Amino acid sequence: MAQQAPLLRVDELNVSFGGLKVLQAVSLEVTEGEVLGVIGPNGAGKTTLFNTICGFVRPDSGALSFDGHRLVPRPHRLTRQGIARTLQGLGLFPNLSALDNVAAGATHRSRTGPVGALLASPWAERHELRLRDQAMGMLEQFGIADAAHRPCASLPYGIRKRVALARALISEPRLLLLDEPAAGLSAAETAELADIVRGLRQRTTVMLVEHHMEFVMNLCDRLVVLDFGEVIATGTPAQVREDPAVQRAYLGEAVAADA
């Protein structure tokens, strides 16, 4: 496993907004099949790192590679490029049903397009039906099939989080980026989410940002710690927990408390 080429490689990424350096020479690797956690205090640059990997933010310098090839991420082609993400917060269409939200995650696989929709060919209809079947299957897997036809806005937060996850997964990404998936969940929901993410290992590689230390420490194979836009530590949860630089960055916060 150690010799395997990384699925994602981030090389010396620099990002600034105005004069503010938000990421500074950030390098890291994500190995296929692992769950990599990215942690760090508020404002450390975690979401910006995800946004750069997804092409929403353009770096001043640095490079990305995916599966051994240079990656120039394009947000509208991201699922085709093998990457999917959930947003910090929800990012669902509140008025669409859970099922439609999940189906919307498969945009690159929906071949209907505006012309197809106008013609409403039987082939296109069959394709859309298959997509909806698949979306229903995802909801079933996550135990929320009951919610399929309800507008997302009417669903409890924990259920909406699962809808967001199902939507990201329906594109069958090789790399799934989760930005604070446990935020706002109860202790029981957080434990269930950890089980769900563990179950995803078979089908995708996961990179997640999270403040919830117990969740991160128990779930992730490796952690990367960002502080003021710089990587200050990388290692197993046990290594990172003991790292004095990490403890300093989290001064006043309980980095090791529940782990």
Ligand X SMILES: Nc1ncnc2c1ncn2[C@@H]1O[C@H](COP(=O)(O)OP(=O)(O)OP(=O)(O)O)[C@@H](O)[C@H]1O
For ligand X, the binding residues (CB under 6 A) are 17, 22, 40, 42-48, 88
CA distance 252 to 259: 16
Do the beta carbons of residue 209 and residue 88 sit within 8 Å? yes
43 touches, from Mg ion, ligand X, none (C-beta below 5 to 8 Å by class): ligand X
Q: Residue 206 class from Cβ within 10 Å (0-12 exposed, 13-18 middle, 19+ buried)?
A: buried
164 touches, from ligand X, Mg ion, none (C-beta below 5 to 8 Å by class): none
In the bound state with ligand X, the residue whose beta carbon lies nearer, of 100 and 179, is: 179
If binding is defined by CB under 5 A, does position 48 make contact with Mg ion? no
Closest distance of CB 249 from ligand X, Å: 12
CA distance 247 to 259: 14
If binding is defined by CB under 5 A, does position 47 make contact with Mg ion? yes
Q: Residue 149 class from Cβ within 10 Å (0-12 exposed, 13-18 middle, 19+ buried)?
A: exposed
Closest distance of CB 233 from ligand X, Å: 15
202 touches, from Mg ion, ligand X, none (C-beta below 5 to 8 Å by class): none
Under rule CB under 5 A, which residues in 86-105 are in contact with Mg ion?
88
Closest distance of CB 51 from Mg ion, Å: 9
In the bound state with ligand X, the residue whose beta carbon lies nearer, of 24 and 247, is: 24
**Residues in binding contact with Mg ion, number by CB under 5 A:** 3
Amino acid at 160: R
14 touches, from Mg ion, ligand X, none (C-beta below 5 to 8 Å by class): none
Q: What are phi and psi of 45, to 5 degrees?
A: 115, 15
The CA–CA distances, whole Å, from 223 to 98, 103, 113 equal 32, 32, 40
Residues lying near Mg ion in the complex (CB under 5 A): 46-47, 88
